[in-house]
Structure 1
Amino acid sequence: MTFAARLHHHRGALRFAPFVVIGLAMLAERLPLAQRHPVLALALLLWLAADSLLLACVATTESRRPGAGQIVARLAGACAIVTLAAPPPLQAVLRATPVVLAAMGLVVLAHLALAASRAVRGWHDSQGVARWERVAGQFLPLPLVRFARLELTVLHMALLRWGGPADVPPGARAFAYHRHLTPMAATLLALSAIEVAVYHVFLGHWSRWAAVAMFVLSDLGLVYLVGLVKSFRFRPILLDSDGLRVRAGFLIDVAVPIDRIERVTMAVDGAEIRDPATLNAALLAWPNVVVHLNAPLPHGPAWRRRMCLRVAFRLDDPEPLVRLLRWRLNQP
């Protein structure tokens, strides 16, 4: 494996490495030696935060030459982390050193100015939810923005969407898979509600604060579960001019280009489904459609990405999709 391939393989871990370094530095800043020399400890923490963020930026950039905006953004992130998360003695030293505080403020202001200029351009180049995500991604880390968007989407679907059509873009055809999941999902919701009530009653006799904490966590879990169950209907599997988009609520969303599809079949082989090279998108049921690929398709986050040679899923009525795919592939 070449150096570039190894770097691409470990790129996900490199994105998390700065937070590990900064977390260890935060723990070291609480040692007695750091408390006796707070000025030196503050300088060391600021250097470690900036250095780790910049090195991760260089390692994860395709050209290994980050732009000025990326460098300023990492420096501003280091300043924000040190200002908000440093131990109280170091924050006192920071407040007592206006020159350092002013320099850190200028770095943050430079980042905001550059991000605002890029956000104005991004506002005109995109539309809808992608516009807001692109604009927010200029000021905050993009993974954090995507996580917040997903959280808001789940909460919106769980609490506010109770009817209406599914999310089907223009030019795409939808294929439902939620009908076979409805009885099992309703049973799971009922059991979860009973479990929450039992936990609340028993913990209430032992500790009031534990009961309140469990009540908040369990209610939040129920809201997420409701959003997940409703997403099965609102996010069907799609077929459009570009290819097949296999979805399973919020859990799975993978696009399969039409030129990657070798053949599609309803003959399901158990050994193929259990093969690690098969992405099984059928939830709580056995798949009834298997799409075979002519080239590996990457799936999953960067830290546990795997290559798939088959995509299996279950539809309520699989024959229309199979006929359309075979017609698109010119297969009998």
Structure 2
Amino acid sequence: MIPAARIAHHRRAAHLAPAVVIVAAMLAARLPVAQSHPALSLWLCLWLAADSLLLSRIARDGPGRPDARTVCATLAGACCLVSIAAPPALRAASLAMPGTMVAMALALLAHLALAGRQALAIARRDGTAARWESVAAQFLPPALVRLARAELVVLHMALLRWGGPADVPPGARAFAYHRHLTPMAITLLSLSAIEAAVYHVFLGHWSRLAALAMFVVSDLGLVYLVGVVKSFRFRPILLEADSLRIRAGLLLDVAVPLNRIESVSMAIDGADVRDAATLNAALLAWPNVIVHLRAPIDHHRLLRRRSIRRVAFRLDEPEPFVRLLQWRLGQP
């Protein structure tokens, strides 16, 4: 049997391989030999993009014949990527070949038709607000849809939410952790604003274009930082009916089933906190609560997967949380 670590490594490689192949193909298409044969270079780029994307999908989903939706989505994605990233000579060659344009248009239309039928079925079946993410994932790559959703959540948190209650589902008990973070968060925001202003002044004397680019990057980063800081209050740690949901604003959201929890304590051992099997969710402070698990659970972070046996975090008032969780676990 193949170890789980090797399977995870293969899946990460399957995610990264298409990007490497497509970037290499686009760079090779800018070489003089490729520029002198634009039609052949265009077809090679289309073939490499479609082949790498389809093989990556098969590697992630497992062995088996891909369905029509997967094939059409892969061909449409390859056509869009090559059309956007190809050099001008290759784009001009595609316009000069009507057959190529018709084939690319048919692949895109087939993908839109199949994805539209599936999206319509999801919209009719699912009545929740999250259905729009599933609908969009039928037309666009799911990773891109999740990234766009995360961006919209951060911007909404930073620009539109300035008051109101925290995000607490019905039947859940919330425990705050943001009070000890408030002074440090205000200091961090102030230093970031001062740093951005200083960069604007100095770069403005050197290059107006560089000052404008830094203005966009620094101000957007400041907006994101405001959203993350505000999320600490709006997203507390939750004790739900059957799980403990450990959150750190927009940075972390881990659900731990109550039947996996062995014990909870405020006696913190430094060796346990520093252990690789411990998820330390305390922000800018030492944790004051640690939860020990009966069996490890998987925690996915970007392209990494960790097996955790303990979760440490910090609460503003840890005693009520520990008493309530011990009562829920049937412990004295």
TM-score by length of 1: 0.96
SS of the equivalent of 1:78 reads helix
Greater shift after overlay, 120-129 or 136-145?
Answer: 120-129
Amino acid at match of 1:94: S
Give me the whole-angstrom Cα distance separating, in 1, the residues matched to 2:46 and 2:3: 30
Matched, 1:301 2:304: no
Q: 2:154 maps to what in 1?
A: 154
SS of the equivalent of 1:286 reads coil
Give me the whole-angstrom Cα distance separating, in 2, the residues matched to 1:152 and 1:302: 18
SS of the equivalent of 2:47 reads helix
Q: How many residues align?
A: 332
Deviation at 1:41, TM superposition (A): 1.1
Q: 2:246 maps to what in 1?
A: 246
Q: 2:25 maps to what in 1?
A: 25
Deviations 1:97-154 (A, max 9, x none): 1111111111111110111111112113334441111000000000100100110111
Which residues of structure 1 form unaligned runs of 5+? none
Give me the whole-angstrom Cα distance separating, in 1, the residues matched to 2:206 and 2:84: 36
Give me the whole-angstrom Cα distance separating, in 2, the residues matched to 1:67 and 1:168: 40
Give me the whole-angstrom Cα distance separating, in 1, the residues matched to 2:273 and 2:10: 28
Q: 1:56 maps to what in 2?
A: 56
Equivalent residues in 2 for 1:153-232, closer than 5 Å: 153-232=153-232
Deviation at 1:63, TM superposition (A): 5.4
Identity of aligned residues (%): 68
Q: 1:237 maps to what in 2?
A: 237
- Contact 1:264 1:290 survives alignment (8 Å): yes
Against the structure 1 CA distance between its residues 158 and 90, is the aligned structure 2 distance closer, same or farther, given a 3 Å change threshold? same
Deviations 1:75-116 (A, max 9, x none): 110111112211111111111111111111111111101111
Q: 2:109 maps to what in 1?
A: 109
- Contact 1:39 1:93 survives alignment (8 Å): yes
Amino acid at match of 1:114: L
Greater shift after overlay, 108-117 or 12-21?
Answer: 12-21
Deviations 1:257-297 (A, max 9, x none): 11211111111001110111110000011101101111121
Amino acid at match of 2:27: L
SS of the equivalent of 2:290 reads strand
Deviation at 1:320, TM superposition (A): 1.8
Against the structure 1 CA distance between its residues 227 and 5, is the aligned structure 2 distance closer, same or farther, given a 3 Å change threshold? closer
Q: 2:322 maps to what in 1?
A: 322
Give me the whole-angstrom Cα distance separating, in 2, the residues matched to 1:121 and 1:214: 45
SS of the equivalent of 2:312 reads strand
Q: 2:41 maps to what in 1?
A: 41
Deviation at 1:16, TM superposition (A): 2.0
- Contact 1:264 1:326 survives alignment (8 Å): yes
SS of the equivalent of 2:209 reads helix
Give me the whole-angstrom Cα distance separating, in 1, the residues matched to 2:66 and 2:329: 42
Amino acid at match of 1:314: R
RMSD: 1.5
Give me the whole-angstrom Cα distance separating, in 2, the residues matched to 1:307 and 1:9: 15
Against the structure 1 CA distance between its residues 302 and 284, is the aligned structure 2 distance closer, same or farther, given a 3 Å change threshold? closer
Give me the whole-angstrom Cα distance separating, in 2, the residues matched to 1:67 and 1:264: 48
Give me the whole-angstrom Cα distance separating, in 2, the residues matched to 1:125 and 1:174: 32
Q: Runs in 1 of length 4+ with deviation above 6 angstroms?
A: none
Matched, 1:331 2:331: yes
- Contact 1:12 1:302 survives alignment (8 Å): no
SS of the equivalent of 2:130 reads helix
SS of the equivalent of 2:180 reads coil
Amino acid at match of 1:20: V
Amino acid at match of 1:38: P
Amino acid at match of 1:22: I
Against the structure 1 CA distance between its residues 281 and 27, is the aligned structure 2 distance closer, same or farther, given a 3 Å change threshold? same
- Contact 1:11 1:302 survives alignment (8 Å): no
